[in-house]
Structure 1
């Protein structure tokens, strides 16, 4: 004899699941507001400004793709807690504008959701928390396994990599990553 769940119970479960998903997106949005303020204060003062008193990370850069109206504040590090609030600067990589690869990673369904709309040829602006501004040209993208990114840490140029999970519309995590590569075209220091 099959068991059925009553419609009110199904409705309650739906509301709870919807609320959980909405909470994640609301937290991401609010975090970016607080991170914007901390980033602006860092640029103005030249000091590290934490976005809230208990934060174990701080803003290090702002990424913008003006063609699509996208902007995100990048945090130092890629711990699970940091990535819940914004893109993270992968610690083993250089800072934006330095020789080598500056790599940033974020979740595909929040802070790097906009990567699906970035086209090869787009301009990506990065402003560091010290006020230095760098302009990059998106020149390639690839889908790779998480353990085989193909990123060469020994490059001699000034490059930028933005990484997120793939595919963009997946519901569960998987082994593939989307990598967007860009090369420096201008530095305004």
Structure 2
């Protein structure tokens, strides 16, 4: 039984890494022709942005569903894209792409690229909240980037009720 769980975990991680190559290619097509390009023929999502966080580039897919998050961080569609006015919310798994959030500190700079250009954000806080705390996704009048993942990092229990939230303000 433990071999099954070990193999299953390895499969999920490998799928997330391989998907990044396909998503990167779709993102390049999107930038070149201005049309939303799915990363594979049967995909029900497409890349909408990139994030550069502490030297790591992450590709962000449209939608924050479980299926999307299996491949990359997902943009909460009810929020503006990075670079737009308001609170742009992006979620991801703590044990794959958003594991990088464990090292994010106040005053770090995050670069977010969309088809409209690159915006820079200064991290103003990191905090732990309960999953029921929806105040972190509420819209703002400022350019804000909110990154959310499960907490604790390296936790053994799935579906924890805690969330690690990184809040950043757009730099002029």
What range describes the TM-score normalised by the shorter chain of this pair? over 0.9
Which of 136, 141, 146 is residue 151 of structure 1 equivalent to?
136
Q: CA deviation at 1:49?
A: 0.5
Provide, for residues 68-127 of structure 1, a one-character-per-residue CA deviation record: whole Å limited to 9, x for no partner: 321210000011111101000011111111111000000000010100011111110000
Which of 59, 81, 89 is residue 47 of structure 2 equivalent to?
59
Partner of 1:4: none
TM norm structure 2: 0.94
Total equivalences in the alignment: 171
Matched, 1:141 2:126: yes
The alignment partner of 1:168 has SS state of coil
Answer yes or no: is the 8 Å Cα contact 1:120–1:138 preserved in 2. Answer: yes
Partner of 1:104: 90
Name the larger-Rg structure.
1
Matched, 1:161 2:149: no
The alignment partner of 2:39 has SS state of coil
Answer yes or no: is the 8 Å Cα contact 1:97–1:134 preserved in 2. Answer: yes
TM norm structure 1: 0.86
Provide the rounded CA distance (Å) in 1 between the counterparts of 2:110 and 2:161: 26
Which of 145, 150, 156 is residue 171 of structure 1 equivalent to?
156
Which of 110, 126, 145 is residue 124 of structure 1 equivalent to?
110
Provide the rounded CA distance (Å) in 2 between the counterparts of 1:105 and 1:152: 11
Provide the rounded CA distance (Å) in 2 between the counterparts of 1:164 and 1:143: 10
Answer yes or no: is the 8 Å Cα contact 1:57–1:76 preserved in 2. Answer: yes
Distance 1:154 1:56, change over 3 A: closer
Provide the rounded CA distance (Å) in 1 between the counterparts of 2:148 and 2:137: 14
Partner of 1:76: 62
Unaligned runs of 5+ in 2: none
**C-alpha RMSD of the superposition:** 1.3
Answer yes or no: is the 8 Å Cα contact 2:137–2:146 preserved in 1. Answer: no
Q: CA deviation at 1:16?
A: 3.1
Answer yes or no: is the 8 Å Cα contact 2:111–2:121 preserved in 1. Answer: yes
